[in-house]
Structure 1
Amino acid sequence: MSSIHNTPKVISNTPFESLRFQFSWRNYQEKFLNHFETHLNDNHLHVVAPPGSGKTILGLEMLRRVQKKTIVFAPTLTIRNQWKDRLLTFFTEDNAFADFSFDIKKPAALTFVTYQSLHAFYKSFDTKEAFLAFFKTYGIEAIVLDEAHHLKNEWWKCLFALKDARKLTTIALTATPPIDSTDQELSRYFELCGPIDEEIAVPDLVKEGDLCPHQDFIHFSEPNQEEIESIASYRKKIADFVTSLQQNEPFIALLKSHRFLTNTDEVLEEIYKDPSCFSSILIFLRSVGEIIDPYLFEVLGFERNKKVNFPNLTYEWTEKLLQFILFTDREELLAHEEFLQKLENRLRKYGMINQKRVSVFGNRKLYTTLANSPSKLESIVDIIQHEYRSLDTKLRAVILTDYIRKEFLSYSHIDDVNQLGVLPIFQHVRTSLKRMNSIGVLSGTMVIIPKDCLLILEELNPNKKYSHTSLLCDDNYVSISITTKVKSDLVSDITKLFELGHINVLVGTKSLLGEGWDSPAINSLVLASFVGSYVSSNQMRGRAIRSQEGNPTKVSNIWHLACIDPTVDDGGSDIEMLERRFHAFVGVSNTEPVYISTGIGRLALPASFDREIIQNINEQTFALATNRKNIKTKWETAIAKGNSLATEIQYFTDNPRIEAKQKKIYHRDLVKYISAEASIGLAIVFSEIYLQSAFKMAQFGFLYFAYSVLSVIGIAVGFKIFNRIRAHAQSRFIHKNMNTIGEAVLLTLDRLGYLTTDVSEIEIRSEQFVGDTVCNIYGATRVESSLFVKAMEEILNPIENPRYLIEKSSIFGSTSDWQNYVTVPTIFGAKKKDATVFLAYWKMYVSQGKLHFTRTVEGRKILIKARLFHVTNVLKKSTKKEVIWK
């Protein structure tokens, strides 16, 4: 097809009818294909399939069944070519299929192109209409989005235009949804790809032998004294800054003269667009002892002449205030520009501003201090040494990191190696483990191998001559020159050296090894990358867990590195980053009874860290990692306990490592305050019995003064008891009613037509553990389960900006500020009649309540108050989702 025709070009079914899968489907693949037609009812199919599941082959089978003229979009040329190779190898006899194309300008029955090609093609048209007319002319009816998490910003526009205008059948395939992207990016991703319809489960692949048994391990290290001092100094600097801000008269004067306070009525609409900015001003002024006009509290939804228990000034509120003053509202504060510029300069000097975002908690430099800590070099050496002792010459370890750092090529002293990178890691391992001389480097611009491997390279590829030079720091190793002519062959040959065992440890960059490069021989992977997101780390992790033909006993260890921040109890930013990533890693637990789930909780990490704890954890970890047979047994045991992955929501488990503390916090505080109250009562009695006699001659004023002081203290402690009981009762309300809240959500979904499964076949289950409640549903489709969990999340999480709220009065009636506010989930909040349906089921199953529309002035006041007093805001808790094999 060399020209554009004026009429749509329709293809016959003949090309697709000639395609047949030439082998037998795996059980999990056949199970997926059985549901294929159901999922495609809405013209969308979004499949998550881990590496090794045959994602491309399944995609081709779907296209064979759809029988529509299709364009497949791939992120790279390598992956594009894989589609053609899989088509000819797995669906034809003797490559007998020719109706495919690599040229988007000349589409065939199946056209394989990259996203880059589509974008370049889009820019070649003068108008969007002309671009769309091309696809109409050629009768394109379906598209495949392969690994759509790769999409760059400028590529979205043409894809949305093509999808929306042509109403195309859309099949999205990915191993790694971009779950750690921004809300906007994630929303755009799901708008293009649709909700996840099906996920092929890792346990199924392990069961079938397509993935090997594996386990994630974390090796902990401590920063050196210089790094600790740097972190402590930064934290002190921030604390001093916040204190100085509270003493800064010009800043206080700026806030007092802000239009939100001086012309409140005129800017109410502006205030209600983001009331947290207004709240942050009041909270700050209250913290410095300023008297607040009672009317301003009315604006926030509080009743006149009532005491307001306003939140304390925290780093979160300080950050919100500074963001508003320095950036959001800057143009309205031109009279204070000189002062604001000085304040901004000061924040930038402290590293508290990054790309117009204020961060009071810590800057990027503080994070990279730990993420790039030289202590991780010692961790890598310990890991490789341990794995070599365990596996000896069978070790096939890969270490992936972010940068090459060529300046370390000539370094010969270990003390000079003080950064993470390909060459620093190579040098550190080489000099620390001198008896191991089988280390190599493989990256896009640097290849290093042992000198002994040169002869083997010549045997592997006699037609290629690689020029090389010996390393100045160690003539046992050579650096091979890389040219465009030899690059592809060189990567293949180094991979063969690795698989044959001539190289036991390969160090490389995640860009080369993470996605495109693959070797089923890997049995130990060290992720020394701190720049990459979850997507790239999961792609790298996928390299190690593939099964290896001829090696049925393969078990892989995946090693993550964490440098502990000794200035905080929870371990710091490295642990926080790993927690986020582990939410999407499916793996087996280290605990008994064994189970399979996502989340870092399955590793049973401690609640806090110190030097002794770190040493003990690392020793225990090495013991677990050595027993690879036990890892395989755990997978077999856990797989036998279930048959599918179920999404569950956990309430009040903000951090998996502090679950054991959550139940104690209420009891501890209550015991503390009640004990204090009892002591005060005894003190008063003691005063009455003994002091009155002892001071019989003293003036009565002394006793009255003592009684007054004790009474005030008693009232204050009593108020704390009331607050703790109140917070505890609110949290218990959620724990106790998790099932009934779920019933209200599920029945509303059914009533509004979101369920295709008969609601009588769906079961809600909730279980209570120490400090948290877990809820999930059984018998629903993946889409239905996702809708249910998302609605539950919105109800249980801190209130944001819903269109409708349900207000439930407390047991103390309308005279108390203590109210219970519930978000009406977004899926029910678009229309009042839908929100009313949810309210009806809420009343039926949970409690009485009143519906409020938050897009009016009065509704905004209620929303502000709800956000301030929602139980999860009081207790600093929220929810999390995990996927568990059941």
Structure 2
Amino acid sequence: MNEFPQSIQFRYQWRTYQKKILADMAALLQNKRVHLVAPPGSGKTVLGLELMVRLNKPTFILAPTVAIRNQWAERFLELFWQGDKTPDWISTDIRQPAFVTIATYQGLHSLCSFEDSGGFEGDDVDIATEHQTESLGGKERKEAYKRLLDMDFQTLIVDEAHHLRAAWWKSTIDFRRSLNKPTIVALTATPPYDVSQKEWKNYIDLCGPIDAEIHVAELVKEGDLCPHQDYIYATTPTVKEAEPLLAFHNEVTSFMQQLKTDKAFISFVEQHRYITDPANQAQEMLANQAYFSSLLIFLHACSSEAWKQPAKLAGLYEKNIPPFEEEWAEELLDHLLFKDAEMDEKQSPLKDIRQHLQRIGAIERRKVTLRSTKTFDRSLVNSLSKLDAMTDIVSFEASKLEDKLRLVILADYIRLIDLPKHRGDEQPLTRLGVIPIFEQLRRHIDSKVKLAVLTGSTVIIPTSAKKRAEKEAEKVGLELKLKPLAHDPNYLLLTVDDNTRANMVSIITAVFTTGGIHVLIGTTALLGEGWDAPSINTLIMASYVGSFMLSNQMRGRALRIERDNPNKTANIWHMVCIDTEQYDGGHDCLSLQRRFKSLIGLGTEDNIIESGINRLAFPKPRYRRRLLKESNEKTFAQAANRQLLADRWKKAVAMEGRPTEEISADARSIPRPLWFGTTLKAMIVIGFLTLWQGVTVERPSSYGSKTEMTFYLVYPIVVSALFAAPFFWKAIRIWWRNSTIEKSMESVGEALYKALHQAGIVETPWEKDAISTIKAGHGTLECWLKIGTTYEKTVFLKALQEVIDPIEDPRYLLYRQSKAHFRTRKDYFAVPTELGRKKATAEMFHREWKKHLGKAELVYTRSFEGRQILLQGRVKAMSAVFVPRSERISAWR
């Protein structure tokens, strides 16, 4: 078989945005590469299949998981194939390739490397994996791989390729190189914008530059995704969970106080080589600037004078020294006890300190942990307070939607052993999971709310749904084996065997869709991806194990439109347990913030569409119980008005827009201009010449005529104006370009882009107003580039982050010094890596900087003097720990 049967074609109508994408593809396919970005629910798979049919060549499709692999086959049969039976030229078995072969990355890697290793980023313990090749020996694998190559695939489709670990990545690249110049079709929902330049280049090497992007806003506008909103419900640890946590924090507080009054330890730190001989330790201190900073910060907190001399060398002023808190104590003690090769942890006072830390449980695997421990981190993620949160959320949604409620809860584990064995066997719930969640809701929710459980091995339905379930089973020729739950006859336990397992999901989904079930609790592995249930109008994400890609897939379950319900909206609930004793809220809060970087949606207060947690106006640190309670109340008030949500989405997508990648930065990190010096020069010139003029006026008798006198009066004015004009003009120009913080951000961006263009790193010429910046609330700015290719925008934004973020280890930096209010101010800014590789390109950036932001000195940091300045810059950066780093966000503008 060399081509598809002529009858193969898409059986339905294309959506508007899909038509637009396909219209552009003809030209793109001539380059033998197509790279499409599209969110879950956009029909990304269908577009990939259409491109496959248009290319009309033997095709190999790589999917990230078994569920998504099977989805590719199912979508083709449902949307393109005209027959009843699966044709023999489609294969999902990599051992038996066909004209269209669909496999997982793991399956391909197993054939290529003759081993089973690697995997997806994150702890995806619930993602099904490929087992087809596990039973094959080395010879059989080689034969299977040869059969694969003999198919001479001319089309290679890679789905979500960027989430691969290095081992699978290498196997995929090697396989592509083994083919005869195939056409690459790359599809992804979340491009890896936040990876290193090297990883990005590897990704682009396989997938090519991004050719087209479908944005969530377009899908909602076209009616292909429903209006939706993410909501965060915050909890604090239960009393039982909080007791050991609070005891730990109290122990740490006591330890910190003792440490700052321990004369033996203070004396020990005062004798450290960084303190007694800093001039000869510059190279080492530069490599360990956080360690060096922690020494200074500790001595300052102890009122020791020893910090002053090394601080002077590092250019650190007392006003910039932060308080000695747990983070700095961890840095200090980690090095003194475990990392500093010249320290002997067995000597006093280090030995006593280590024993104290071990006694309070603040050492894990040779690492000091004063803010939290792995055990406490897990207790936050799996806090039982989330069971109460789910009760509150389900009760709230049921009160608003009543019989229209279609709520799904996704969890990581089943925990079948927690199901009571008989009436009266109900035990206190001790962990999260499908069964504990079911039991929590069964015990505390109104009996009118119909609950169900759906996993690969356990199915529970309400007794009231029995007839509906049996009716759906009859449609597929099955007879269900049902028996009452031993501890509650209002629910039935369905026996799942090999005969019923394949159809169980579709049967229960149908019962759920028709209202026989209001709340369906299942595992992420079974329902998190590839499951289609458009009736879902509420989702609670109680899953914390999978990768960020999986979060997007799970969330996508609720966003799909429902044909018979044009007014559908979806509420997606995220729960977070916050440790109020930690400034940042603890591990669970930080993890939630990272997850939201890939979740795009509508702001809760403004009609903006972007990624990141800031759009939800969630409280900022420091977190307090009262603030969290108020936040939850406000969240429920917002979630209650679904019609307002739909109206706000309509307004947000009404205007023409396009997807953008942006930088969100704290306003305090934005470089401000130095134009005082140029103004001063002008004033000195004018002052000097005015003095001359004053002297001439005082001696009118020395002039022979009024004409001569007028000349000597006017001459200084003209000369001073001519001499001062350049300085005044430069000052005015710089001031005008930087009159607001937004304009300063744009000036930095303009200087950077022009330097990148001069260096040949970006090709698109500069245009006026090519950079936009807005104030985004909470003291942040958002900046994006309106010109250039996706690659050029990525390069620009990465470089911009290097400039405005705390300095690390650049090859070149910009240094400037100014005086204001009788104080000397020193600023340090990195020359981005792309421009810092060569002196010539670094100088391009230096020249543009001076034009747009005023005087600065270009410093080569690999020289002795340069390293001294770099050390000063890094120590200053360490003192600015409470100025958050910039973030990449996706938005619709």
**Which TM-score bucket, shorter chain as reference?**
0.7 to 0.9
**Which residue identity does 1:200 align to in structure 2?**
I
Relative to structure 2, which stretch is displaced further, 833-842 or 269-278? 269-278
Match of 1:213 among 227, 232, 235: 227
Quick check: 1:132–1:165 contact (8 Å CA) kept in 2?
A: no
Pick from 425, 429, 441 the counterpart of residue 417 of structure 1: 429
The reply on whether 1:147 has 2:128 as its aligned counterpart is no
Q: Which stretch of structure 1 is more off in the superposition, 147-156 or 861-870?
A: 147-156
Aligned match of 1:705: none
Report the more deviating stretch, 638-647 or 620-629: 620-629
Q: Report the equivalent of 1:600.
A: 613
Shift of 1:174: 2.5
1:72 is the counterpart of 2:61: yes
Residue type of the alignment partner of 2:335: F
1:508, CA displacement in angstroms? 1.7
Aligned with residue 409 of structure 2, among 399, 403, 408: 399
Mean Cα deviation higher: 49-58 or 434-443: 434-443
Matched, 1:384 2:394: yes
> Residues 71 and 530 of structure 2 are in contact (CA less than 8 Å); yes or no, is this contact kept in structure 1?
no
Matches within 5 A, 1:665-744: 736-744=743-751
**How far apart in 2 are the matches of 1:518 and 1:352?**
46
Equivalent pair of 1:374/1:419 in contact (CA under 8 Å): yes
In the TM superposition, 1:93-492 aligns within 5 A as 101-102=91-92, 104=94, 110-124=100-114, 139=152, 143-148=156-161, 151-152=164-165, 154-162=167-175, 170-177=184-191, 198-247=212-261, 255=269, 269-288=283-302, 292=306, 301-302=314-315, 312-329=323-340, 333=343, 336=346, 346-347=356-357, 350-354=360-364, 357-410=367-420, 416-436=428-448, 438-462=450-474, 463-492=477-506
| AA at the equivalent of 2:781 | T
Q: Is the 8 A contact 1:132 1:162 kept in 2?
A: no
What does the per-residue CA deviation read over 1:535-594, in whole Å, with 9 as the maximum and x for residues that have no partner?
A: 3322211111111222212111112223444446776554444333223322222325x2
CA distance in structure 1 between the partners assigned to 2:790 and 2:78 by the alignment:
32
Checking the alignment, whether the CA contact within 8 Å between 1:231 and 1:567 is kept in structure 2 is: no
**Post-superposition shift, 1:244?**
3.1
Aligned-partner residue type, residue 20 of structure 2: K
Instruction: For 2:257 and 2:555, locate their aligned partners in 1 and report how far apart those are by CA, in whole Å.
Output: 45
**d(CA) in 2 for partners of 1:873, 1:284:** 16
Contact 2:578 2:585 (8 Å CA) reproduced: yes
Greater displacement, 263-272 / 841-850: 263-272
Residue correspondence of structure 1 range 691-840 to structure 2 within 5 A: 736-760=743-767, 763-768=770-775, 771-811=779-819, 818-840=825-847
Q: Tell me, what secondary structure is at the counterpart of 2:486?
A: coil
Q: 1:380 to 1:110 in 2, by over 3 A?
A: same
Choose from 627, 647, 651 the match for 1:633.
647
TM-score when normalising by structure 1: 0.78
- Once the two structures are overlaid, the 10-residue window that deviates more, 29-38 or 204-213, is 29-38
Among 845, 848, 857, the residue aligned to 2:864: 857
Whole-angstrom distance in 1 between the partners of 2:336 and 2:184: 45
> Residue 827 and residue 625 in structure 1: after superposition, are their counterparts in 2 closer, same or farther (change >3 A)?
same
Could you tell me how far apart the structure 2 residues matched to 1:604 and 1:307 are?
35
Whether contact under 8 Å (1:210, 1:547) holds in the other structure is: yes
The 3-state SS of whatever aligns with 1:479 is: strand
CA contact (8 A) 1:466 1:480 kept: yes
Deviation at 1:197, TM superposition (A): 5.2
Q: Give the whole-Å Cα distance in 2 for the aligned partners of 1:282 and 1:257.
A: 12
Range with greater deviation from structure 2 (566-575 or 389-398): 566-575
Q: Secondary structure at the match of 2:767?
A: helix
2:488 aligns to what SS in structure 1? Answer: coil
Q: Is the contact between residue 179 and residue 534 of structure 1 (CA under 8 Å) also seen in structure 2?
A: no
Aligned-residue CA RMSD (Å): 4.2
SS of aligned partner of 2:229: strand
Question: Which residue in 1 is equivalent to 2:729?
Answer: none
Alpha-carbon shift at residue 502 of structure 1 (Å): 1.0
Distance 1:353 1:568, change over 3 A: closer
Alpha-carbon contact 1:807-1:851 (below 8 Å) kept:
yes
C-alpha distance after superposition, 1:135-194 (max 9, x if no partner): 877655664331235535542342344457878765432234578999998897677656
Aligned-residue sequence identity (percent) comes to: 37
The 1:152–1:784 alpha-carbon spacing in structure 2 relative to 1, beyond 3 Å, is closer
1:48 aligns to 2:37 (yes or no): yes
Measure how far apart 1:388 and its partner are.
1.8
8 Å Cα contact 1:867/1:873 also seen in 2: no
**Distance in 1, Cα, partners of 2:322 & 2:30:** 50
CA distance in 2, matches of 1:872, 1:37: 54
Amino acid at match of 1:805: L
Tell which deviates more after alignment, 346-355 or 489-498: 346-355
How far did residue 252 of structure 1 move?
5.3
Distance 1:587 1:749 in 2: 32
The one-character-per-residue Cα deviations of 1:414-469 (angstroms, maximum 9, x if unpaired) are 88235432222211211222422521111233221123433433322244344444
Task: Return the letter of the residue paired with 1:802.
Answer: P
- CA-to-aligned-CA distance 1:508-542 (integer Å, 9 cap, x gap): 22222212433111111112234444333222111
Whichever residue aligns with residue 571 of structure 2, its letter is N
The offset of 1:769, in angstroms, is: 5.7
For 1:230 and 1:184, how far apart are their aligned partners in 2? 44
Q: Cα distance, 1:475 vs. partner?
A: 1.9
Cα deviation, residue 212, structure 1: 1.0
Mark the runs of 5 or more structure 1 residues left unpaired by the alignment.
Answer: 1-10, 656-730
Task: Write the letter of the residue equivalent to 2:609.
Answer: I
* Shift of residue 407, structure 1, vs aligned partner: 3.9
The alpha-carbon distance between structure 1 residues 272 and 364, as it changes in their structure 2 partners (threshold 3 A), is same
Could you tell me how far 1:638 is from its partner in structure 2?
0.8
1:91/1:376 CA distance change after superposition, 3 Å = closer
Contact 2:94/2:101, CA 8 A, preserved across alignment? yes
User: Secondary structure at 2:809's aligned position in 1?
Assistant: coil
Q: Provide the residue aligned with 1:584 in structure 2.
A: 598
Q: Measure the CA separation in 1 of the matches of 2:201 and 2:348.
A: 39
Distance 2:741 2:879 in 1: 10
Contact in 2 for aligned 1:283/1:311 (Cα 8 Å):
yes
The one-letter amino acid of 2:825's match is W
Q: Partners in 2 of 1:502 and 1:769 — Cα distance?
A: 45
SS of 1:753 mapped into structure 2: coil
The answer (yes or no) to whether the contact 1:426–1:507 under 8 Å persists in 2 is: yes
SS at match of 1:51: coil
Distance 1:781 1:751 in 2: 17
Amino acid at match of 1:151: L
Q: Which of the numbers 57, 61, 72 marks the counterpart of 2:46?
A: 57
Distance 2:158 2:366 in 1: 34
Q: Deviations over 1:345-377 (max 9, x none)?
A: 654554544555544322233334443333332
- After superposition, the Cα gap between the structure-2 partners of 1:794 and 1:31, relative to the gap in structure 1 and judged at 3 Å, is farther
* Structure 2 CA distance for aligned equivalents of residues 25 and 570 of structure 1: 47
Assess, with a 3 A threshold, how the Cα gap between structure 1 residues 250 and 26 changes in structure 2: closer, same or farther: farther
The one-letter amino acid paired with 2:385 is S
